[in-house]
Amino acid sequence: MNIAPCVARRTLARCLLVASAALCADAANADVAASDLLTQLTSKDTTELTKAQSYLSGVLDAEDFYLGAEMLSVRAPLSERKATKFKFAHLCLPTPRPGMDALVGVILAYAKGDASRGTGRAHSMIRFALLDKFPCTENP
């Protein structure tokens, strides 16, 4: 991780943003196979289920961070911002946020819809499943 550009500009907020993005990306991209995550999500073993739900929570935290970072990149005050198209696909979970069981159900239904969806990386499968169910097309 190279934070030299933000340090040179002497902006603490920018440095923290860069460092946080790198940490979130590392956590969300942990090398977990989608098939392993699906096995854990359907396990009767509470330890395995908790591991899978924790992983899902980490992916959601990273998504929240990236959404916030993109929204902050719009330099206008919040009251003056107009809806704009996102640069990247984001998911917009409804308020109140669905519970863990509901989110797990969305992921399992997505994987069941096409067997090939459970063959890649877990973080990609989670994002695609939730993007399919909860797409976000404009800045809130």
Residue-wise pLDDT for 78-114, tens only, equals 555 555 555 566 778 888 889 999 999 999 999 998 8
Q: Which CATH number fits domain 31-138: 1.10.1060.10, 1.10.10.60, 3.30.930.10, 1.10.890.40?
A: 1.10.890.40
Using the predicted structure, report yes or no on whether residue 122 has a pLDDT greater than 50: yes
Residues 34, 121: contact at Cβ < 8 Å?
yes
Residues 6+ apart with CB under 8 A from 138: 83, 84, 85, 86
Average pLDDT, the chain: 74
High-pLDDT (> 90) share of the chain, %: 30
